[in-house]
A and B are shown apart, each in its own frame.
Chain A
């Protein structure tokens, strides 16, 4: 888009106003590297132009759409899209189904994040204590499950939990007093979402374990030793020595998990064969449903926008952490 191209150079002027000897004073470490003030912007230009087109424009459109009436006839251009103010939002917010979806999404995401982080931490700690060959085995399994495309993982879980021929029902039914032959896990929303949660956690744990394991190697052994000598138990050492050192990584992983798990889509979509029932709707699928099934693009956008706004707080925490980690150089 031409609009996108012009936005980028427009930002160039400010640096040009500072011609005196390379901006050394404020950042002595960088003194040497500041060639021309325009160079970095030239390097950035293509990237910013593309992002303005593929991110900036749709983001703006998302906002404007959610204040318009936009259905089939507007999509085909039979009718112009007219502004309707906050109508879409009032419609959405006064819909009791929407609030059910919000609560369900939050419970689902919270469950995913908590299980992922706890399991990830436990496995990372466990890996410190096992023999080398066990560690290798676990790492192979983790990396394999991490690398599995989400769609493949979802289809595999669908098969594991199949009502008639799934291995899980067969295995569980071997336990005394359990008869799950033919049990359909997806007959009820909560149970089905629990299975999907398991799938999400299974896919997310490896990243957490591997990152935390790397972080654990940074914890000085002397500190833990000292705490132990002072009489701290295993929990005490973890709580007062290990965890505080790992805190930046834990915060980063938790916020990232929240963002990812609030955005779960393909897992639900594919598990339910492209038509999630009402009991399975999360904010993402609900927005999709409004837009592409009901053909109310405006309301779908309003829901998507609400989701983004809900996430802003978490994103802010994540960004602060990332900048703290990354900006120091």
Chain B
């Protein structure tokens, strides 16, 4: 039914109200399909565990309980992995931003021989699939005595956080008009002064967005965390695997655990998403 309406809508722009209805119905369908997994995670997390193993589950909420959450916290230590994830992600982001900022400045504000090669290199490095690197990284950390150490994981995470940070910060810097800096220098600022007083304040939102996004990436990483740390040092993403044992999977507590993992990250993501998307397209439109 809606398909017919929508089909007609294309031709008949003269009837905007009627044509919108079809598109809106279609849009709502997309909303339901895209949102359902998230809804079902929350639904299962808050429903009584016995309702979760109903062969004919009700799509609507059947009750409200927090017992799945307490069960999730009981199954395996939750705060330890979360703490470790926080340490790793924050350290990686701080190193990434400081080192990445310097590099981004170099490739966006200086003319030097080899600049293009560096840019291509940093772009290319981002394209190497992480999975392909796991074997040599594992051997490297093994040789350095960094296996099963958070510091080892931090070094490893720089492989993807650092190129990402450089590239994204570069995008933000490029979009700050050089004339602003030059004006400040004409007015007597040193080069460093011009950067600190003029560029840095304009760059700050971009830096925050980049840090948050980098944090999310580091937080979500699974493979390296699984491979390079033992069970007792596991991070938050690996913790989620504890709900499946040889006796089966405890789905309701698992969804509670998934909710605890996802909600803070989705909120962080909501905060920076617009900024990141804007940065990406701003770069694209420049061409």
Contact = CB atoms under 8 A, between A and B. Distances in A.
Interface of A: 11, 14-15, 18, 23, 26-27, 29-30, 32-35, 37, 39-41, 43-44, 46-48, 50-51, 53-55, 57-59, 61-62, 65, 75, 123, 126-127, 129-131, 134-135, 137-138, 140-153, 155-160, 162, 164-165, 167, 170-171, 181, 202, 205-206, 210-211, 214-215, 218, 233-234, 248-249, 252, 259, 262-263, 265-266, 269-270, 273-274, 284, 287-288, 291-292, 297, 300-301, 304-305, 307-308, 311, 315, 318-319, 322-329
A266 B132 contact: no
B200 to A, nearest CB: 15
A135 B219 CA distance: 30
B55 A170 contact: yes
Interface residues of B, number: 109
B273 A147 contact: yes
Contacts of A142: 34
Interface stretch (B63-71, B75-83, B202-210, B257-265): B257-265
A75 B139 contact: yes
A59 B128 contact: yes
A248 B28 contact: no
Nearest to B216: A147
A148 B266 contact: yes
B132 A181 contact: no
A181 B57 CA distance: 12
A149 B265 contact: yes
B132 A141 contact: no
Contact of A143 (B26, B120, B270): B270
B149 to A, nearest CB: 15
19 contacts: A41-B112, A54-B155, A57-B140, A65-B135, A126-B30, A127-B27, A137-B28, A141-B34, A144-B266, A146-B269, A148-B38, A160-B37, A167-B57, A218-B281, A262-B129, A304-B134, A318-B127, A322-B123, A326-B119
Contacts of B155: 53-54
A288 B226 CA distance: 12
Contact of B55 (A34, A59, A165, A249): A165
B286 A325 contact: yes
Given A58-B133, A308-B129, A156 B40 contact: yes
Contacts of B277: 210-211, 214
Interface of B: 9-11, 19-20, 23-24, 26-28, 30-31, 34-35, 37-38, 40-41, 44, 52-57, 59, 95, 99-100, 102-103, 105-107, 109-116, 118-120, 122-125, 127-137, 139-140, 142, 155-156, 158-159, 162-163, 166, 171, 174, 178, 182, 185, 191, 216, 219-220, 222-223, 227, 237, 240-241, 243-244, 249, 251, 254-255, 258, 261-262, 265-266, 268-270, 273, 277-278, 280-281, 283-287
Contacts of B258: 152, 155-156
Nearest to B115: A40
Nearest to B117: A11
Contacts of B26: 126, 130
Contact of B23 (A11, A30, A130, A165): A130
B48 to A, nearest CB: 14
Contact of B114 (A11, A181, A291): A11
A222 to B, nearest CB: 15
A202 B34 contact: yes
**10 tightest Cβ-Cβ pairs between the two chains A and B:** A147-B269, A141-B35, A47-B103, A263-B129, A58-B136, A43-B106, A61-B136, A40-B110, A304-B132, A30-B111
A265 B284 contact: no
Contacts of B265: 147-149
B88 to A, nearest CB: 14
Nearest to A35: B191
Given A59-B128, A145-B34, A14 B136 contact: no
A304 B54 CA distance: 43
